[in-house]
Amino acid sequence: MSLPEPRELLPHRPPFLFVDRLVELTPGERVTGSWHLTGDEWFFPGHFPGRPTLPGVLMLESLAQVGACGVLAEPRFAGRLPLFGGAAKVRFRRQVVPGETLDVTVELTRLGSRAGKGHGVASVAGEAACQAELTFVIVDP
């Protein structure tokens, strides 16, 4: 079974698309995606000059986008829009730098008709970089 491209599910577009591909997808339950950082991304020159580092808030956004793929792949939510409702227990564990690939997994722990929750972990080569509990609301576009 081939997986959809993130662009087929998400309304996000570059430069604000922070997932390159999906590698695992169980709609409404679990999703894993990846984001390869080439070093050419728009934020690296200013964050930080001489020591480019992926901003933590963009790691968190990548978690949200991958989670949104898991929600939007569920037929009852196709074409809807999951919006961030909150993030809790956010922890940044390591820096992510150009040339690395961020592997992002989100388990959807609750998925109701208008809102849900999930737990996400972003890692590099098996080492956790960011983790968070996510809350989202689902609206019409």
Print pLDDT tens along the chain (141 aa).
699 999 999 999 999 999 999 999 999 999 999 999 999 999 999 999 999 999 999 999 999 999 999 999 999 999 999 999 999 999 999 999 999 999 999 999 999 999 999 999 999 999 999 999 999 999 998
Question: pTM of whole model > 0.85?
Answer: yes
Distance (Å, whole) CA 109 – CA 125: 25
The percent of the chain in helix, strand and coil, each rounded to the nearest 5, is 20, 40, 40
Number of structural domains the chain divides into = 1
Distance (Å, whole) CA 72 – CA 116: 12
41, 54, 61, 98, 134 from 47: Cα distances, Å: 11, 7, 16, 11, 25
> For residue 80, what are the domain limits?
6-139
* CATH number of residue 126's parent domain: 3.10.129.10
Respond yes or no: is residue 47 known to be catalytic: yes
1 within domain boundaries? no
